[in-house]
């Protein structure tokens, strides 16, 4: 078992005056990093009991006939009902937020699609308790993509904390994140200034501009520069990063996607068999080479700690491209959607709060100054609550467990697969008022108590990743980047308008107007 001594400590880094600072100018901000908000986390998030006062019930639902049950469920999940209705209709049918069902892909990719589903905020946290659930090979659910897609290695995200490499690799990522601390704010400014300028130019010439598309390039550039210190445009990779990553992620996740092709084609091509990894090898190798050449001192650090440079580099590709870029591809467009729809009144409040703090901080954005922006912070948490970017979490019961929903307790047997669909936990009406509504100031003041129910990072927002848990290693980095998006946006603009459309992966946000800062 791994020891429990290390946390990410990303925010706890004190870098008082290492980075030069300038007076406020939205185009060329430079910022100092100076906050300290990390705390020693409790070991386990789950409050699930060994015994219960609630009525103990048999878990409702079932799996149907072999092959036919999972196939029918898959068609319901992808096409006949869609994901949310698939779960909602079964909650109604079984009058329970915990039940048995199958999860895609099923035949012939996953050998066993049977799961116990958790769809409320009370039961969900059992999935974070690694004393109760094993997290081996289930990052993507009931199937695991071929390790040929990741250089032959089982990457950190697929490792259980009980495996020795989990601690070594997670510590390496904590080291990388700590090393990047002073670069995050300036590199974000530089990458997203390019994005805003692109949006402005396109809106001027055509009346609209795709945030989702521009975000791909900006996010990739930001991550490469902040985490690896290299600008992709100055290397052989050029601007190809996002395209290569998207193709490679497709090869990893296709069993779980609907691409909008005819149903039968999708069923045969992407839901029933795995695509051959050889078809994406060349693209992946280009990414690998880019990261190998960009990560000198990180690879040295890996070797010092008993990780080969090769294994470390495959882990960097995965952490930067899959975990980070993949996460930002969902998070940022969804943030633009929610904040855009919140309307001009909220925009004005955000702009007023953000600009007044920045002005009184001598024109500098720092982590500390962002701590003084309660509405902005709450808006970011509300975005992460209402649309958690990674919706599905899995864990296999390590022993017989008692799991409580709000109304009943259920016995889960050792070895059973437990699955949680997170949006139902973070929109649980028994925890959140107006759960389906975007409430910008939900987490202001006493509302901060609700942060323990914000779970996007595979753990409560008031806890931290450690080598002993499976909470997202980049949790603090992600919150910081999301805050920076809101701050940069409202330093530049008073308000903005958007159109939103559904796309196979994430959401397509087109910006139709940007009102330049007037106060
Ligand atoms: C918006 C961006 C991100 C989102 C939404 C996100 C979300 C998540 C989630 C939900 C998990 C747990 C998956 C599971 O086990 O079920 C996870 C794990 C992980 N994330 Fe993130 N993540 C993001 C960015 C990052 C960044 C920036 C890094 C590091 C550079 C990172 C590194 C990791 C790692 C290494 C794990 C596995 C942790 C472990 O094995 O203990 N993620 N992330």
Predicted pLDDT at 504: 82
Nearest residue (by CA) to ligand 1, atom 21, is 472
CA of 454 from ligand 1 middle (Å) equals 15
Phi-psi region of 82 (alpha: psi -120 to 50; beta: other; left: phi over 0): left
Record the pTM.
Answer: 0.93
Of 455, 479, 474, the residue nearest 172 (C-alpha): 474
Q: In the beta sheet, which residues pair with residue 459?
A: 456
Q: Which atom of ligand 1 is closest in space to residue 456's alpha carbon?
A: 10
Predicted pLDDT at 29: 33
Give the relative orientation of helices 475-492 and 344-360 as an angle to the nearest 10 degrees.
100
pLDDT digits (tens, 9 = 90+) for 32-66: 333 333 333 344 455 677 789 999 999 999 999 99
**Distance of alpha carbon 316 from alpha carbon 301, whole angstroms:** 13
Predicted pLDDT at 9: 46
Predicted pLDDT at 505: 82
Q: Which atom of ligand 1 is closest in space to residue 394's alpha carbon?
A: 16
Predicted pLDDT at 87: 98
Q: What is the DSSP letter of 457?
A: T
Predicted pLDDT at 47: 61
Predicted pLDDT at 50: 73
Predicted pLDDT at 26: 37
The token duo for 426 is 């973070």
- Residue in the block written with tokens 């996953």: 110
pLDDT digits (tens, 9 = 90+) for 298-335: 999 999 999 999 999 999 999 999 999 999 999 999 99
Environment class of 42 (CB within 10 Å of its CB; exposed 0-12, middle 13-18, buried 19+): exposed
Mutate to test the pocket of ligand 1, among 474, 476, 480, 481 (most ligand atoms within 8 A of CB): 474
Predicted pLDDT at 379: 99
**Distance of alpha carbon 217 from alpha carbon 45, whole angstroms:** 36
Q: Which atom of ligand 1 is closest in space to residue 127's alpha carbon?
A: 16
Nearest residue (by CA) to ligand 1, atom 15, is 139
CA of 322 from ligand 1 middle (Å) equals 9
Predicted pLDDT at 51: 84
Q: What 3-state class would DSSP assign to 510? A: strand
**Distance of alpha carbon 298 from alpha carbon 172, whole angstroms:** 8
CA of 481 from ligand 1 middle (Å) equals 14
Of 98, 115, 97, the residue nearest 106 (C-alpha): 115
Residue numbers in the chain where pLDDT is lower than 70: 1-47
CA of 202 from ligand 1 middle (Å) equals 33
CA of 478 from ligand 1 middle (Å) equals 9
Question: CB under 6 Å to ligand 1: residues?
Answer: 135, 139, 156-157, 159, 166, 170, 173, 319, 323-324, 327-328, 331, 389-390, 393, 456-458, 470, 472-474, 477-478
Mutate to test the pocket of ligand 1, among 323, 335, 456, 482 (most ligand atoms within 8 A of CB): 323
CA of 479 from ligand 1 middle (Å) equals 12
For 44-101, give the secondary structure using H, E and C: CCCCCCCCCCCCEECCCECCCCCCHHHHHHHHHHHHHCCHHHHHHHHHHHHCCCEEEE
Residue 383 marked as a ligand binder: no
């Amino acid at each position: 078992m791994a020891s429990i001594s290390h946390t990410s400590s990303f925010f706890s880094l004190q870098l008082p005056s290492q980075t030069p600072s300038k007076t406020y100018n939205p185009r060329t901000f430079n910022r100092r990093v100076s906050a300290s908000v990390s705390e020693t986390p409790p070991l386990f998030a789950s409050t699930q009991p060994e015994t219960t006062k609630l009525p103990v019930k048999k878990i409702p639902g079932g799996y149907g006939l072999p092959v036919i049950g999972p196939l029918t469920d898959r068609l319901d999940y992808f096409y006949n009902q869609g994901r949310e209705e698939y779960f909602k209709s079964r909650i109604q049918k079984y009058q329970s937020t915990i039940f048995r069902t199958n999860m895609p892909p099923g035949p012939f990719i996953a050998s066993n699609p049977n799961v116990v589903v958790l769809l409320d905020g009370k039961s969900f946290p059992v999935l974070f308790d690694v004393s109760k659930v094993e997290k081996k090979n289930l990052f993507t659910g009931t199937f695991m993509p071929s390790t040929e897609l990741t250089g032959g290695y089982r990457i950190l995200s697929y490792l259980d904390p009980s495996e020795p490499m989990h601690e070594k690799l997670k510590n390496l990522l904590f080291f990388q994140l700590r090393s990047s601390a002073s670069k995050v704010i300036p590199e974000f400014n530089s990458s997203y200034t390019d994005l805003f300028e692109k949006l402005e130019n396109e809106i001027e010439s055509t009346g609209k501009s795709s945030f989702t598309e521009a975000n791909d390039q900006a996010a990739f550039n930001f991550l490469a520069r902040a985490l690896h210190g290299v600008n992709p445009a100055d290397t052989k990779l050029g601007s190809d990063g996002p395209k290569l990553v998207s193709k490679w992620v497709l090869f990893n996740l296709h069993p779980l996607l609907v691409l909008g092709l005819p149903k039968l084609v999708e069923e045969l091509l992407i839901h029933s068999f795995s695509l051959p990894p050889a078809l994406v090898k060349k693209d992946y190798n280009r990414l690998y080479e880019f990261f190998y050449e960009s990560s000198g001192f990180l690879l040295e650090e890996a070797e010092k700690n008993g990780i080969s440079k090769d294994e470390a580099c495959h882990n960097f590709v995965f952490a930067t491209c899959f975990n980070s870029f993949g996460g930002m591809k969902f998070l940022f467009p969804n943030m633009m959607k929610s904040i855009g729809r919140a309307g001009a009144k909220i925009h004005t409040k955000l702009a007023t709060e953000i600009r007044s703090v920045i002005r009184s901080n001598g024109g500098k954005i720092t982590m500390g100054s962002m701590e003084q922006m309660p509405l902005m912070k709450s808006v970011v948490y509300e975005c992460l609550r209402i649309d958690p970017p990674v919706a599905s979490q899995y864990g296999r019961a390590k022993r017989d467990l008692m799991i409580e929903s709000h109304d009943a307790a259920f016995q889960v047997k050792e070895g059973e697969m437990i699955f949680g669909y997170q949006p139902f936990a973070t929109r649980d009406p028994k925890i959140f008022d107006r759960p389906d509504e975007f409430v910008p100031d939900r987490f202001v003041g006493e509302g901060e108590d609700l942060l323990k129910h914000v779970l996007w990072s595979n753990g409560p927002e008031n806890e931290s990743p450690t080598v002993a848990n499976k909470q997202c290693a980049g949790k603090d980095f992600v919150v910081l980047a999301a805050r920076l998006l809101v701050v940069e946006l409202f330093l530049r603009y008073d308000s903005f308008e958007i159109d939103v459309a559904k796309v196979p992966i994430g959401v397509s946000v087109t910006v139709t107007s940007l009102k330049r800062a007037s106060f």
